[in-house]
Structure 1
Amino acid sequence: MFIQIVQGRCRDTDGVHRLLDEWRDTMGGTAPGWLGGTYGITDDGQFVGVVRFESREAAARNSARPEQGEWWSRMEECFDGDVSFHDCDDAMVFLDGGSDDAGFVQVVQGRLRDPERFRHFMAEPMDMLHEQRPEIIGGTIAIEPDGWFTETVSFRSEDEARTGEARDMPEPMRAQWAEQMDAMSDVRYLDLHHPWFASAPVRMPSSGQ
Protein backbone atom coordinates (compact mmCIF):
# COMPACT_ATOMS: atom_id res chain seq x y z
CA MET A 1 0.00 0.00 0.00
CA PHE A 2 1.07 3.57 -0.72
CA ILE A 3 -0.12 6.59 1.26
CA GLN A 4 0.03 10.25 0.29
CA ILE A 5 -0.48 12.85 3.02
CA VAL A 6 -1.71 16.26 1.85
CA GLN A 7 -1.58 19.23 4.24
CA GLY A 8 -2.20 22.94 3.98
CA ARG A 9 -3.92 25.91 5.58
CA CYS A 10 -7.52 25.94 4.43
CA ARG A 11 -9.41 29.16 3.70
CA ASP A 12 -12.52 27.58 2.16
CA THR A 13 -13.72 24.61 4.20
CA ASP A 14 -16.92 24.16 2.23
CA GLY A 15 -15.01 24.31 -1.05
CA VAL A 16 -12.54 21.63 0.03
CA HIS A 17 -15.31 19.34 1.19
CA ARG A 18 -17.35 19.90 -1.98
CA LEU A 19 -14.40 19.28 -4.30
CA LEU A 20 -13.34 16.12 -2.50
CA ASP A 21 -16.88 14.79 -2.74
CA GLU A 22 -16.88 15.71 -6.42
CA TRP A 23 -13.62 13.81 -6.95
CA ARG A 24 -15.02 10.75 -5.20
CA ASP A 25 -18.25 10.79 -7.22
CA THR A 26 -16.85 11.63 -10.66
CA MET A 27 -13.24 10.43 -10.69
CA GLY A 28 -12.73 7.99 -7.84
CA GLY A 29 -14.30 5.08 -9.64
CA THR A 30 -11.76 5.28 -12.46
CA ALA A 31 -8.68 6.36 -10.47
CA PRO A 32 -5.96 3.71 -10.91
CA GLY A 33 -5.40 1.80 -7.69
CA TRP A 34 -7.23 4.26 -5.45
CA LEU A 35 -8.35 2.65 -2.17
CA GLY A 36 -9.78 5.51 -0.13
CA GLY A 37 -9.08 8.58 1.93
CA THR A 38 -9.48 10.17 5.35
CA TYR A 39 -9.91 13.94 5.49
CA GLY A 40 -10.47 16.68 8.02
CA ILE A 41 -9.69 20.21 9.13
CA THR A 42 -8.30 21.09 12.55
CA ASP A 43 -9.70 23.85 14.73
CA ASP A 44 -6.93 26.19 13.54
CA GLY A 45 -7.68 25.60 9.86
CA GLN A 46 -5.11 22.96 8.92
CA PHE A 47 -6.40 20.54 6.29
CA VAL A 48 -5.14 16.95 6.45
CA GLY A 49 -5.84 14.37 3.77
CA VAL A 50 -4.52 10.81 4.03
CA VAL A 51 -5.06 9.10 0.68
CA ARG A 52 -4.43 5.40 0.09
CA PHE A 53 -3.42 3.77 -3.20
CA GLU A 54 -2.39 0.25 -4.08
CA SER A 55 1.08 1.45 -5.08
CA ARG A 56 3.18 4.53 -5.85
CA GLU A 57 2.88 3.70 -9.56
CA ALA A 58 -0.92 3.75 -9.35
CA ALA A 59 -0.85 7.13 -7.59
CA ALA A 60 1.48 8.51 -10.27
CA ARG A 61 -0.85 7.33 -13.04
CA ASN A 62 -3.72 9.07 -11.32
CA SER A 63 -1.74 12.30 -10.97
CA ALA A 64 -0.92 12.22 -14.69
CA ARG A 65 -4.57 12.23 -15.75
CA PRO A 66 -5.58 15.57 -17.34
CA GLU A 67 -8.81 15.65 -15.35
CA GLN A 68 -6.82 15.28 -12.14
CA GLY A 69 -4.76 18.36 -13.00
CA GLU A 70 -7.86 20.39 -13.80
CA TRP A 71 -9.50 19.33 -10.53
CA TRP A 72 -6.41 20.16 -8.48
CA SER A 73 -6.17 23.65 -10.01
CA ARG A 74 -9.58 24.36 -8.49
CA MET A 75 -8.68 22.68 -5.21
CA GLU A 76 -5.56 24.84 -4.80
CA GLU A 77 -7.73 27.94 -4.66
CA CYS A 78 -9.16 26.72 -1.34
CA PHE A 79 -5.78 27.07 0.42
CA ASP A 80 -3.63 29.89 1.74
CA GLY A 81 0.00 29.35 0.78
CA ASP A 82 1.70 26.14 -0.25
CA VAL A 83 0.25 22.67 0.13
CA SER A 84 2.64 19.91 1.19
CA PHE A 85 2.66 16.33 -0.11
CA HIS A 86 4.30 13.43 1.72
CA ASP A 87 4.63 10.22 -0.31
CA CYS A 88 5.09 7.03 1.69
CA ASP A 89 5.75 3.57 0.24
CA ASP A 90 6.23 2.27 3.77
CA ALA A 91 2.58 2.14 4.84
CA MET A 92 0.41 -0.23 6.83
CA VAL A 93 -2.86 -0.53 8.72
CA PHE A 94 -3.43 -1.72 12.28
CA LEU A 95 -6.43 -3.29 13.99
CA ASP A 96 -9.35 -2.79 11.57
CA GLY A 97 -7.67 0.03 9.68
CA GLY A 98 -9.65 3.20 9.10
CA SER A 99 -13.41 3.31 9.14
CA ASP A 100 -15.95 5.41 7.30
CA ASP A 101 -18.05 5.20 10.49
CA ALA A 102 -15.46 6.87 12.74
CA GLY A 103 -16.67 9.94 14.59
CA PHE A 104 -13.24 11.28 15.51
CA VAL A 105 -9.77 10.89 14.00
CA GLN A 106 -6.50 11.85 15.61
CA VAL A 107 -3.51 12.37 13.34
CA VAL A 108 -0.13 11.87 15.01
CA GLN A 109 3.06 13.07 13.33
CA GLY A 110 6.66 12.94 14.42
CA ARG A 111 10.04 11.35 13.86
CA LEU A 112 11.04 7.78 14.66
CA ARG A 113 14.48 6.94 15.96
CA ASP A 114 14.16 3.34 14.77
CA PRO A 115 11.46 2.99 12.07
CA GLU A 116 12.03 -0.74 11.59
CA ARG A 117 11.52 -1.48 15.27
CA PHE A 118 8.37 0.64 15.37
CA ARG A 119 7.03 -1.08 12.25
CA HIS A 120 7.64 -4.49 13.81
CA PHE A 121 5.89 -3.43 17.01
CA MET A 122 2.81 -2.17 15.17
CA ALA A 123 2.64 -5.36 13.09
CA GLU A 124 2.32 -7.51 16.21
CA PRO A 125 -1.13 -8.80 17.29
CA MET A 126 -2.98 -6.10 19.24
CA ASP A 127 -5.54 -8.18 21.11
CA MET A 128 -4.67 -6.49 24.41
CA LEU A 129 -4.98 -3.00 22.94
CA HIS A 130 -8.34 -3.90 21.42
CA GLU A 131 -9.49 -5.21 24.79
CA GLN A 132 -8.27 -2.20 26.76
CA ARG A 133 -9.21 0.48 24.21
CA PRO A 134 -12.32 -0.82 22.39
CA GLU A 135 -13.11 2.71 21.23
CA ILE A 136 -10.14 2.53 18.84
CA ILE A 137 -11.40 1.17 15.54
CA GLY A 138 -7.97 1.09 13.88
CA GLY A 139 -5.78 3.28 11.77
CA THR A 140 -2.97 3.72 9.31
CA ILE A 141 0.75 4.39 9.58
CA ALA A 142 2.92 5.95 6.87
CA ILE A 143 6.69 6.30 7.31
CA GLU A 144 8.99 8.37 5.12
CA PRO A 145 12.62 7.38 4.40
CA ASP A 146 13.96 9.91 6.92
CA GLY A 147 11.84 8.45 9.73
CA TRP A 148 9.08 11.07 9.68
CA PHE A 149 5.76 9.32 10.26
CA THR A 150 2.06 10.09 10.04
CA GLU A 151 -0.39 7.93 11.94
CA THR A 152 -4.17 8.14 11.82
CA VAL A 153 -6.20 6.69 14.69
CA SER A 154 -9.93 6.29 14.13
CA PHE A 155 -12.29 6.33 17.13
CA ARG A 156 -16.00 5.70 17.45
CA SER A 157 -16.40 9.11 19.10
CA GLU A 158 -14.26 11.83 20.65
CA ASP A 159 -15.90 11.40 24.06
CA GLU A 160 -14.94 7.72 24.07
CA ALA A 161 -11.43 8.59 22.90
CA ARG A 162 -10.88 11.04 25.77
CA THR A 163 -12.24 8.54 28.29
CA GLY A 164 -9.93 5.88 26.93
CA GLU A 165 -6.91 8.19 27.12
CA ALA A 166 -7.47 8.64 30.86
CA ARG A 167 -7.70 4.90 31.51
CA ASP A 168 -4.59 3.25 32.95
CA MET A 169 -3.06 0.52 30.81
CA PRO A 170 -1.99 -2.71 32.50
CA GLU A 171 1.60 -3.87 32.56
CA PRO A 172 3.42 -4.91 30.39
CA MET A 173 1.32 -3.04 27.80
CA ARG A 174 1.98 0.33 29.44
CA ALA A 175 5.74 -0.26 29.42
CA GLN A 176 5.69 -1.32 25.76
CA TRP A 177 3.84 1.81 24.66
CA ALA A 178 6.02 4.04 26.83
CA GLU A 179 9.09 2.57 25.14
CA GLN A 180 7.70 3.35 21.70
CA MET A 181 6.80 6.91 22.69
CA ASP A 182 10.33 7.45 24.01
CA ALA A 183 11.64 6.54 20.57
CA MET A 184 9.69 9.41 18.97
CA SER A 185 10.57 13.09 18.71
CA ASP A 186 8.90 16.26 17.43
CA VAL A 187 5.51 14.65 18.05
CA ARG A 188 2.37 16.65 17.34
CA TYR A 189 -1.32 15.78 17.40
CA LEU A 190 -3.87 17.02 14.88
CA ASP A 191 -7.46 16.43 15.99
CA LEU A 192 -10.08 16.02 13.28
CA HIS A 193 -13.34 16.60 15.15
CA HIS A 194 -15.47 16.31 12.02
CA PRO A 195 -13.65 13.90 9.70
CA TRP A 196 -15.03 12.66 6.44
CA PHE A 197 -14.09 9.70 4.32
CA ALA A 198 -14.12 8.22 0.87
CA SER A 199 -13.74 4.61 -0.21
CA ALA A 200 -13.22 3.07 -3.60
CA PRO A 201 -16.29 1.30 -4.99
CA VAL A 202 -16.24 -2.46 -4.74
CA ARG A 203 -15.17 -3.83 -8.09
CA MET A 204 -16.92 -7.06 -8.98
CA PRO A 205 -14.69 -9.74 -10.53
CA SER A 206 -15.09 -10.33 -14.22
CA SER A 207 -17.22 -13.29 -15.20
CA GLY A 208 -14.85 -14.03 -18.06
CA GLN A 209 -17.64 -13.79 -20.60
Structure 2
Amino acid sequence: MAGFVQIIEYRTSKPDEVAALLEDFRAKREAEGDGPAPTRGITCADRDEPGRYFAIVEFESYEAAMENSQRADTTEMSEKMMALCDGPGAFYNLDKIASME
Protein backbone atom coordinates (compact mmCIF):
# COMPACT_ATOMS: atom_id res chain seq x y z
CA MET A 1 0.00 0.00 0.00
CA ALA A 2 1.58 3.22 -1.15
CA GLY A 3 1.05 6.53 0.51
CA PHE A 4 2.56 9.16 2.70
CA VAL A 5 1.26 10.91 5.80
CA GLN A 6 2.50 14.11 7.37
CA ILE A 7 1.50 14.97 10.93
CA ILE A 8 1.92 18.54 12.12
CA GLU A 9 1.76 18.96 15.89
CA TYR A 10 1.17 22.50 17.09
CA ARG A 11 -0.07 24.53 20.03
CA THR A 12 -2.28 27.58 19.72
CA SER A 13 -4.52 29.78 21.81
CA LYS A 14 -6.21 30.83 18.53
CA PRO A 15 -7.75 27.59 17.22
CA ASP A 16 -10.63 29.35 15.45
CA GLU A 17 -8.21 31.55 13.51
CA VAL A 18 -6.09 28.52 12.54
CA ALA A 19 -9.23 26.64 11.43
CA ALA A 20 -10.34 29.61 9.29
CA LEU A 21 -6.89 29.85 7.71
CA LEU A 22 -6.84 26.13 6.88
CA GLU A 23 -10.37 26.26 5.45
CA ASP A 24 -9.49 29.26 3.29
CA PHE A 25 -6.37 27.48 2.03
CA ARG A 26 -8.36 24.31 1.25
CA ALA A 27 -11.05 26.25 -0.63
CA LYS A 28 -8.52 28.20 -2.72
CA ARG A 29 -6.52 25.08 -3.53
CA GLU A 30 -9.67 23.18 -4.48
CA ALA A 31 -10.86 26.03 -6.72
CA GLU A 32 -7.50 26.16 -8.52
CA GLY A 33 -7.38 22.40 -9.05
CA ASP A 34 -3.75 22.39 -10.18
CA GLY A 35 -0.65 20.75 -8.81
CA PRO A 36 -0.22 18.21 -6.04
CA ALA A 37 -2.67 18.28 -3.18
CA PRO A 38 -3.42 16.15 -0.16
CA THR A 39 -5.80 13.25 -0.70
CA ARG A 40 -7.18 13.67 2.80
CA GLY A 41 -6.67 15.80 5.87
CA ILE A 42 -8.03 15.98 9.39
CA THR A 43 -7.37 18.24 12.35
CA CYS A 44 -7.56 16.90 15.89
CA ALA A 45 -7.57 18.55 19.33
CA ASP A 46 -5.81 16.81 22.20
CA ARG A 47 -8.36 16.05 24.94
CA ASP A 48 -5.63 15.65 27.55
CA GLU A 49 -3.70 18.83 26.72
CA PRO A 50 -5.91 21.80 25.85
CA GLY A 51 -4.32 24.01 23.23
CA ARG A 52 -2.45 21.12 21.55
CA TYR A 53 -3.52 20.13 18.03
CA PHE A 54 -2.55 17.77 15.24
CA ALA A 55 -3.08 18.20 11.51
CA ILE A 56 -2.90 14.83 9.74
CA VAL A 57 -2.43 15.18 6.00
CA GLU A 58 -2.33 12.25 3.58
CA PHE A 59 -0.73 12.27 0.13
CA GLU A 60 -0.51 9.75 -2.71
CA SER A 61 3.27 9.62 -2.32
CA TYR A 62 6.26 11.16 -0.59
CA GLU A 63 7.15 12.87 -3.87
CA ALA A 64 3.68 14.48 -4.12
CA ALA A 65 4.00 15.71 -0.53
CA MET A 66 7.41 17.26 -1.16
CA GLU A 67 6.18 18.91 -4.36
CA ASN A 68 3.21 20.29 -2.41
CA SER A 69 5.54 21.57 0.34
CA GLN A 70 7.54 23.58 -2.19
CA ARG A 71 4.54 25.46 -3.59
CA ALA A 72 4.45 29.19 -2.81
CA ASP A 73 0.88 29.02 -1.50
CA THR A 74 1.82 26.19 0.89
CA THR A 75 4.78 28.19 2.20
CA GLU A 76 2.61 31.28 2.68
CA MET A 77 -0.10 29.33 4.51
CA SER A 78 2.47 27.61 6.72
CA GLU A 79 4.05 30.95 7.70
CA LYS A 80 0.62 32.40 8.55
CA MET A 81 -0.28 29.31 10.56
CA MET A 82 2.95 29.35 12.55
CA ALA A 83 2.34 33.04 13.35
CA LEU A 84 -0.92 31.95 15.03
CA CYS A 85 0.82 29.23 17.04
CA ASP A 86 2.27 29.40 20.53
CA GLY A 87 5.76 28.25 19.57
CA PRO A 88 7.15 26.13 16.75
CA GLY A 89 5.32 23.15 15.33
CA ALA A 90 6.69 19.62 15.04
CA PHE A 91 6.52 17.71 11.77
CA TYR A 92 6.40 13.93 11.38
CA ASN A 93 6.89 12.36 7.93
CA LEU A 94 5.48 8.84 7.72
CA ASP A 95 5.28 6.18 5.01
CA LYS A 96 1.84 4.62 5.04
CA ILE A 97 2.04 0.85 5.34
CA ALA A 98 -1.56 -0.07 6.23
CA SER A 99 -4.97 1.56 6.46
CA MET A 100 -8.34 0.63 7.96
CA GLU A 101 -11.63 2.30 7.09
The interval holding the TM-score normalised by the smaller chain is: 0.7 to 0.9
**Residue 90 of structure 1, CA deviation:** 3.3
Residues 128-172 of structure 1 show CA distances to partners (whole Å, capped at 9, x for unaligned) of: xxxxxxxxxxxxxxxxxxxxxxxxxxxxxxxxxxxxxxxxxxxxx
- The answer for the alignment partner of 2:40 in structure 1 is 36
How many pairs align?
95
Where does the alignment leave 5 or more consecutive residues of structure 2 unmatched? none
Aligned counterparts of 2:19 and 2:97: Cα–Cα separation in 1: 25
Helix, strand or coil for the counterpart of 2:36? coil
Structure 1 unaligned residues grouped into runs of 5+ = 97-209
8 Å contact from structure 1 (residues 33, 55) kept in 2: no
Which aligned pairs between 1:26-175 and structure 2 lie closer than 5 A?
26-28=28-30, 29-43=33-47, 44-94=50-100, 96=101
Q: How does 1:177-192 map to 2 (within 5 A)?
A: none
- Separation in 2, partners of 1:15, 1:46: 14
Contact map agreement 1:3 1:88 (CA 8 A) in 2: yes
Q: CA RMSD in A?
A: 1.5
1:3–1:91 CA contact under 8 A, matched in 2: no
TM-score, L = length of structure 2: 0.85
AA matched with 1:34: P
Determine whether 1:14 maps to 2:34. Answer: no
For 1:190-201, list aligned pairs within 5 A. none
Instruction: Describe the superposition over 1:94-148 as per-residue Cα deviations: whole angstroms up to 9, x where unpaired.
Output: 1x2xxxxxxxxxxxxxxxxxxxxxxxxxxxxxxxxxxxxxxxxxxxxxxxxxxxx
Q: Distance in 2 between matches of 1:91 and 1:70?
A: 31
Write the letter of the residue equivalent to 1:13: P
Deviation at 1:33, TM superposition (A): 4.6
Structure showing greater relative contact order (alpha-carbon pairs closer than 8 Å, 6 or more residues apart): 2
CA distance in 2, matches of 1:91, 1:79: 31
Percentage identity across paired residues of the two chains: 31
Deviation at 1:52, TM superposition (A): 0.3
Deviation, 1:24, is: 1.1
Q: Secondary structure at the match of 1:34?
A: coil
